[in-house]
C-alpha cells in the first residue's frame, strides 16, 4: 500500500468505544497513548512498504489522476474545519478527495457524531485504507441513537455502558467511495469538505456555486486553497493551513446570484 503522506493516522475506534461506555472526553490521555502505540505499530508494519521511498511515491502521485495533495490534513486543522461547519448530528457530510478518510472519520466520531459521512477518492490504496479504518469501528456504534454528553475537563464522569441493539438498519453510516469526484452527485450533502488543489477546485467550482444557490443550509469548507469566484463567509488560520467557509451568503456577496 502506497501511503506516502498519510502515515500516523489510526482512526476513531477508541473514541467510538468510549462513547459506548457513556463517555466522550474522559481518559483522553489513555486514548492518546493507545493511539500512539497503534500508530507506532502501523508504521512498523509498513516499514518495508514502497513509501519508504517518498520520491517514488511523489512521482506516482504526479503521474496519477489525483486532484488532491499527496498528504492528509493535520487533525487540528480537521477539527477547526468541522467546528467552523457548526455540525449537527443529522448533517450529511461529503469529503471530496478524502484520502484515508480522516475528515469523515473525525466527523463521524464523538464529539461531532455526524450520522452520515461519505468520502470520495480516486486512489484505490487510500480508499482501501479508509475501508480498513471503518471496519475497526465497533459495530454497536453504528446503532447508537444519541451520543453521551461531553464531560468537560475536571468534571466527574458518571459513565455507564450504553445499551444498543444491532438489529435493523444502522442509525449511522460512513462510506468510502472509489470514484472521480467530478462525477459524484452531491444533492444530499449539507456539508462538503475539500482539501483540493486550485486546478481541481476550478473544475468543480461552477457546480459548487449551483449547489449553494439551491441549498441555503449548505456549507462548503476548503482547506488551504479557496474558491476563486466566491467570497468566503468566514476563515481561520490553523497551524500552516487556512480554512475557508462558503455559504449561501457567499453567493450573494460575490454577485453570483443570477
For the purposes of burial, counting CB atoms within 10 Å of the CB of 47, is it exposed (0-12), middle (13-18) or buried (19 or more)? Answer: exposed
pLDDT given for residue 100 in this prediction:
94
Cβ atoms within 10 Å of 120's Cβ, excluding its own: 22
Question: CB neighbours (10 Å) of residue 93?
Answer: 26
- Could you identify the residue written with the cell 484515508? 100
Q: What are phi and psi of 199, to 5 degrees?
A: -65, -30
**In the prediction, which pLDDT does 130 show?**
96
Distance CA 201, CA 249 (A): 19
Rounded Cα gap, residues 225 and 244, in angstroms: 8
Q: pTM of the full predicted structure?
A: 0.81
Distances (CA, A) of 217 to 64, 90, 199, 250: 35, 12, 26, 12
Residue 240: predicted pLDDT: 85
> What is the structure's pLDDT at 18?
87
Q: Which residue in the block uniquely carries the three cell numbers 463521524?
A: 108
- What's the gap between Cα 119 and its chain centre? 7
> pLDDT for 131-186, tens place per residue?
999 999 999 999 988 786 654 445 444 444 444 556 678 889 999 999 999 999 99
Low-confidence ranges of the chain (pLDDT < 70): 1-6, 23-66, 68-70, 148-167, 253-254, 256-258
Amino acid at each position: 500500500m502506497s501511503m506516502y503522506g498519510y502515515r500516523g493516522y489510526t482512526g476513531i475506534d477508541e473514541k467510538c468505544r468510549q462513547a459506548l461506555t457513556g463517555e466522550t472526553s474522559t481518559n483522553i490521555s489513555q486514548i492518546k497513548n493507545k493511539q500512539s502505540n497503534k500508530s507506532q505499530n502501523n508504521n512498523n508494519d509498513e516499514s518495508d512498504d514502497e513509501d519508504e521511498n517518498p520520491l517514488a511515491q511523489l512521482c506516482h502521485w504526479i503521474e496519477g489522476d489525483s486532484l488532491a495533495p499527496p498528504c492528509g490534513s493535520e487533525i487540528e486543522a480537521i477539527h477547526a474545519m468541522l467546528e467552523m461547519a457548526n455540525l449537527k448530528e443529522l448533517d450529511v457530510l461529503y469529503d471530496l478527495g478524502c484520502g484515508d478518510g480522516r475528515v469523515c472519520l473525525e466527523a463521524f466520531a464523538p464529539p461531532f457524531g455526524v450520522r452520515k459521512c461519505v468520502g470520495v477518492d480516486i486512489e484505490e490504496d487510500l480508499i482501501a485504507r479508509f475501508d480498513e479504518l471503518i471496519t475497526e469501528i465497533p459495530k454497536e456504534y453504528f446503532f447508537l441513537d444519541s451520543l453521551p454528553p461531553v464531560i468537560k475537563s475536571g468534571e466527574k464522569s458518571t459513565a455507564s455502558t450504553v445499551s444498543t441493539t444491532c438489529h435493523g438498519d444502522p442509525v449511522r453510516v460512513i462510506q468510502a467511495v472509489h470514484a472521480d469526484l467530478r462525477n459524484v452527485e452531491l444533492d444530499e450533502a449539507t456539508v462538503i469538505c475539500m482539501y483540493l488543489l486550485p486546478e481541481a477546485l476550478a473544475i468543480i467550482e461552477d457546480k459548487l456555486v449551483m449547489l449553494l444557490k439551491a441549498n441555503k443550509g449548505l456549507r462548503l469548507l476548503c482547506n488551504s486553497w479557496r474558491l476563486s469566484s466566491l467570497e468566503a463567509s468566514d476563515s481561520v488560520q490553523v497551524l500552516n493551513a487556512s480554512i475557508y467557509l462558503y455559504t449561501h451568503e457567499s453567493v450573494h456577496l460575490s454577485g453570483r446570484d443570477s
